[in-house]
Amino acid sequence: MKKLAIFDLDGTLLYTLEDLHASTNFALESEGLPARSLDEVRCFVGNGIRKLIERAVPDGCAPDVTDRVFAAFKRHYAENCMVLTRPYPGIPEALAALKARGWKLGVVSNKADEPVKALIAHYFPGVFDSVVGERENVRKKPAPDSVFETVGSLGCDIGQAVYIGDSDVDGQTAANAGCDCVLVSWGFRGRETLLPFGCPIADSTDELLNILTEGEK
Q: SS3 string of 34-58?
A: CCCCHHHHHHHCCCCHHHHHHHHCC
Residue 79's identity, in one-letter code, is: E
SS3 label, residue 10: strand
Least confident of 1-5, 87-91, 110-114: 1-5
Residue 92 has pLDDT above 70, yes or no: yes
Per-residue pLDDT at 204 = 97
CB 133 within 8 A of CB 117: yes
CB atoms within 10 A of CB 202: 21
Per-residue pLDDT at 66 = 97
Burial 80-115 (b: 16+ CB within 10 A, else e): ebeeebebbebbeebbebbbeeebbbbbbbbbbbeb
Per-residue pLDDT at 1 = 67
Domain pair 4-15+86-213 / 17-80, same fold? no
The predicted model scores a pTM of 0.94
Query: How far apart (Å, rounded) are the C-alpha atoms in residues 195 and 183?
Result: 9
Rounded mean pLDDT of 46-69?
95
Residue 55 has pLDDT above 60, yes or no: yes
pLDDT per residue as tens digits for the range 116-162: 999 999 999 999 999 999 999 999 999 999 999 999 999 999 999 99
Cα angle 64-108-13, degrees, rounded to a multiple of 5: 100
CB 197 within 8 A of CB 182: no
CB 163 within 8 A of CB 143: no
Residue 71 has pLDDT above 60, yes or no: yes
Calculate the CA 64 to chain-centre distance.
Answer: 28
String of DSSP letters for 91-149 = HHHHHHHHHHTT-EEEEEEEEEHHHHHHHHHHHSTTT-SEEEEE-TTSPPTTSSHHHHH
**H or E segment and range at residue 164:** strand 161-165
Q: Which residues pair with 108 in a beta bridge?
A: 132
Per-residue pLDDT at 217 = 56
Residue 208 has pLDDT above 70, yes or no: yes
Average pLDDT, the chain: 96
Per-residue pLDDT at 187 = 96
Rounded mean pLDDT of 61-85?
97
- pLDDT band at residue 190, thresholds of 50, 70 and 90? confident
Q: What are the extents of the domains in the chain?
A: 4-15+86-213, 17-80
Rounded mean pLDDT of 181-191?
94
Rounded mean pLDDT of 44-55?
94
Burial 148-163 (b: 16+ CB within 10 A, else e): bebbeebebebebbbb
Rounded mean pLDDT of 43-52?
93
Provide CATH code, domain 4-15+86-213.
3.40.50.1000
SS3 label, residue 187: coil
Per-residue pLDDT at 100 = 97
- Residues serving a catalytic function are 8
Q: Per the CATH hierarchy, to which homologous superfamily does domain 17-80 belong? A: Putative phosphatase; domain 2 (1.10.150.240)
Per-residue pLDDT at 2 = 75
